Amino acid sequence: MRRFFERFFPAIPLALILGSILFSHSCANTTTPPSGGPKDTIPPVIVELFPYPGATHVPTHKTQLMLKFNEFVTVKDPQSIFLSPPMEKRPVYKLKGKAVVVSFEGDLDSNRTYVLDVTNAIADNNEGNMFPGYALAFSTGHTVDSMMITGTVQDCNTLMPLKGVTVMLYKDQADSAIFKQRPVAAGKTDDWGFFCLRNIQDTVYRLFAVKDDNNDNMYQAENNELVAFWDTLIRPVTVVGDSIPELMKYLMTDTVACLARKSEYELNMFRETPSKQMIVNKERLGERTAYITFMAPYAQIDSIWIRDVPDEKLITQFNIERDSLEIWVNDPKKQPDTLFLYVNYMKTDTLGQLVPFTEEVKLAKPRQIGAAKSSSRDIKKEDTTAVITVTAEPETVEQYGITMEFKYPLVKEAFDSLRFWSVNPKQQEAEEKFSISRDTLNLRKFVLTPANKLLPGYEYHLKIPHRKFMDINGFYNDSLDVKVMLPNDDKLSAINLVLSNVKNKYIVDLLNEKRDNVLRSFTVESDVTLRFPYLSAGKYSLRITEDLNRNGIVDTGNLLEHKQPEKVKFYRLENGSFILEIPEMTELEQTIDVEEMFK
């Protein structure tokens, strides 16, 4: 025993240390990746496929497709696992080791080419690096179809690319096919609005695109889904090949490669105006004001009245599209808790026909209006005053004038009581002449236009005197003083836009870089030079819209009537960019041949 301890005792401490290490590792989470080392930035790579690309005679019953990767992956977006042509139910998937196994709840059709696309669906399990994508083509018949088409989908107003749109091909040449059946081939647009429908038959098709909100691969107009269509029948001319750039999958951050792809078809998406006509909304906003809205524009109203309110006491105003009607009662006395409005208009019946119909609309008084004021402290100034909103923006006052908008329609007005004067840099005052016009679309809005050109360095003052205007509530206005000056920042810039060959009516808009905000707008009908002054250094876009029906708005399209939305074009520089970069203290001049632009 003594010899045993002398021989093995030195090893006991080492064994205890090793044992503690072993036991601590056996209790650790074996799924946790080791820490440290460089961050993984490489996307997953496919190492095995089943069936192999271009396989034929793939079974139609209980079909399973397998994509195996070089590392563990996860499915980030199941909706992006897309089968073309789509089935009634979407593909389902499961993770099996390093593989994604895709199956279908129903049987595949016989003698048909299918394409499974997993673009934007899969990422590695550790760092979330997105797999660029892959499209697996196979056939349940003897051959794999070999043709392809490409294109882009964009918003009809901004011409910005739309991601995740379903692009569809139909052999049925009727416009109504998109409402009734699923396509014979389909695909999704990427971040650049680009699509490639591959391995399709060599035949003629109708081409559509739908923002398929409910993922049923059909068009639901009643759900206000966006739609686009190509005007004529199409036939593919390109054969699928391994070296074709449009078939390759790129990271969406690779701008050069993505923009270099050839786009054969450009589809402009729009939202159709509803075809059914009916009153869909109502609200009483105050004691004497309310509104109703219609489902479809251009409502045809024969007559409108309110019970116990004389016709001459009723004021109404449609918006430009005639799908919203504002209503006022021109009577300062207290109104009933509920107003009974009757509208005799053309309403869509159960057969889809417009027929005369008289509808009763109950307009209940809002609770806060109906509740009595508990004390004088609850009464606000606007409760007893004809409220006016005056807008005088330094950058746009030359173009738009000074606008005065009353909260309620006026029953008494005295615009000759307004005083408009200038103060020059030497502080000398001078009375300025002006004209007043009522806005054609808003009876509560008026525009003051100076008779003389506004001068830099001058102050311009508008004074609205006390108790000169009375609204339908019997309230008078408070006095109001407004001052405006032209911008005097020396760093501001300007654009002079020279338009030639203007043969129709056009709407010209200056927008910000993102195209989501109209900064200035003009309507032109002949050759003209438009000036956009007082611009800060930055990036802008110029949009021109062809207003063929001359109604002053951008009209949308109609699928069954085969009507495209009104054409929109953005001014493109010689370098291909749509962005105007304006430096400080610069006056740019751009010349546009409008007729050539809209060819």
Over the stretch 103-116, which tens digit does the pLDDT of each residue have?
999 999 999 999 99
Q: Which residues pair with 289 in a beta bridge?
A: 328
| d(C-alpha 492, C-alpha 7), whole Å | 92
Q: Which residue is listed with tokens 């929109």?
A: 568
Confidence at residue 108, expressed as pLDDT on a 0 to 100 scale: 97
CATH code of the region 46-269: 2.60.40.1220
Cα-based distances in Å from 179 to 147, 208, 219? 26, 11, 5
| d(C-alpha 550, C-alpha 109), whole Å | 50
User: Low-confidence residues of the chain, pLDDT below 70?
Assistant: 1-38, 368-382
Q: Which one-letter DSSP state was computed for residue 125?
A: T
| d(C-alpha 209, C-alpha 188), whole Å | 9
Give the strand pairing for 538-546 and 445-450.
unpaired
64-110 per-position pLDDT tens digit: 999 999 999 999 999 999 999 999 999 999 999 999 999 999 999 99
Confidence at residue 25, expressed as pLDDT on a 0 to 100 scale: 38
Cα-based distances in Å from 519 to 52, 415, 495, 555, 573? 55, 29, 13, 20, 20
What 3-state DSSP class applies to 162?
A: coil
Confidence at residue 381, expressed as pLDDT on a 0 to 100 scale: 64
Q: Which of 120, 208, 117, 136 is nearest to 171 (CA)?
A: 208
Q: Which of 263, 264, 201, 262 is nearest to 232 (CA)?
A: 264
Backbone angles phi, psi at 14, to 5 degrees: -65, -40
CB contact at 8 A, 479 and 509: no
| d(C-alpha 283, C-alpha 320), whole Å | 20
* Single-letter code of the amino acid located at 194: F
517-549 per-position pLDDT tens digit: 999 999 999 999 999 999 999 999 999 999 988
What 3-state DSSP class applies to 118?
A: coil
| d(C-alpha 187, C-alpha 150), whole Å | 10
Structure tokens at 475: 């309230």
Structure tokens at 577: 């960019």
* Single-letter code of the amino acid located at 351: L
CB contact at 8 A, 343 and 324: no
* Single-letter code of the amino acid located at 345: Y
Confidence at residue 36, expressed as pLDDT on a 0 to 100 scale: 52
| d(C-alpha 546, C-alpha 569), whole Å | 8
Domain assignments of the chain as residue spans, ordered by start? 46-269, 286-370, 381-485, 493-597
Confidence at residue 11, expressed as pLDDT on a 0 to 100 scale: 43
Query: What is the SS3 assignment for 75-87?
Result: ECCHHHCEEECCC
Residue 332 makes CB contacts below 8 A (sequence gap 6+) with 472, 473, 474
At CA 360, angle to CA 357 and CA 361, rounded to 5?
Answer: 125
At CA 242, angle to CA 238 and CA 245, rounded to 5?
Answer: 70
Instruction: Specify the CATH number for 381-485; select among 3.30.460.80, 2.60.40.3710, 1.10.630.10, 3.30.420.40.
Output: 2.60.40.3710
At CA 543, angle to CA 541 and CA 549, rounded to 5?
Answer: 170
CB atoms inside a 10 Å sphere around CB 439 = 13
CATH code of the region 286-370: 2.60.40
| d(C-alpha 469, C-alpha 464), whole Å | 9
Give the strand pairing for 147-155 and 265-269.
parallel
270-289 per-position pLDDT tens digit: 999 888 999 999 999 999 99
Order of all β-strands in the sheet with 227-229: 185-188, 166-170, 206-210, 227-229
Q: Which one-letter DSSP state was computed for residue 53?
A: T
Confidence at residue 599, expressed as pLDDT on a 0 to 100 scale: 86
Burial of 431 (0-12, 13-18, 19+ CB in 10 A): exposed
CB contact at 8 A, 17 and 105: no
Burial of 522 (0-12, 13-18, 19+ CB in 10 A): middle
CB contact at 8 A, 226 and 90: no
CATH architecture of 493-597: Sandwich (2.60)
CB contact at 8 A, 205 and 233: yes
